[in-house]
Amino acid sequence: MSQVRVGSAKLVEGSRPRSCVRHGNAVADGSDVDLQSRPQHDMSPTFGGVFSILVRTADHLQDIERVPVQGWPFCELCVRRRRRLRRAAQALFFGGVVLVVAAVVVALQRGQEPLLMIPMLVGVAAALGSGFVFGQSSWSHIASARVSDDGRWVTFADAHPAFLAEMRSASED
């Protein structure tokens, strides 16, 4: 597997492959997606605490370049992978919240017990970890697509040979 770089304008104008970028399977229908750039991290998350993280996140969200693509081909394997990751993220988030709430309810009934910190910490970790899993379910991540910082190019890493051949033949036209 290798990578291919495609002009963003070409994708927005409607030049679509008929093969899945990841698996090379033929696809009849596609999904409307926003391929995105990834923010450049300049500090560690521990620097400055939670407020710093929130400020940097807001700054990075403004700097993200998006390329809207209609009808991008994803095979059934990709769709199922996204569905599984989304369900896992939901289970982690809601399971974590339930653990925290249950630990608080038990603590209110029985009084403070040191062992109640375990489900509370596991619940918080699960809820926070759900964000990572949810991020893995984005169409950009599933397609291994990354938009350049200026928004002019989209690079597909780990592209299937059938997808590469199709994109190369389209660029020769």
More confident site: 122 or 17: 122
Q: How many structural domains does the chain have? A: 2
Is there a domain that residue 4 lies in? yes
Q: Do residues 3 and 44 both lie within one domain?
A: yes
What count of Cα atoms within 13 Å lies in the side-chain half-sphere of residue 27?
A: 25
Q: Which residue matches tokens 């994109």?
A: 167
Helix (H) or strand (E) holding 76: helix 76-110
Q: What is the mean pLDDT of residues 121-139?
A: 90
Residue numbers of the domain that contains 88: 79-142
The mean of the pLDDT values for the chain is 81
Beta-carbon count within 10 A of 54 CB: 11
pLDDT in tens, 67-76: 888 888 888 8
pLDDT in tens, 26-56: 776 678 887 877 766 555 555 555 555 566 5
**Six token digits for residue 134:** 């949810």
Q: Do residues 158 and 137 both lie within one domain?
A: no
The pLDDT, as a whole number, for residue 40 is 60
Q: Do residues 2 and 58 both lie within one domain?
A: yes
State yes or no: pLDDT of 10 exceeds 60.
Answer: yes
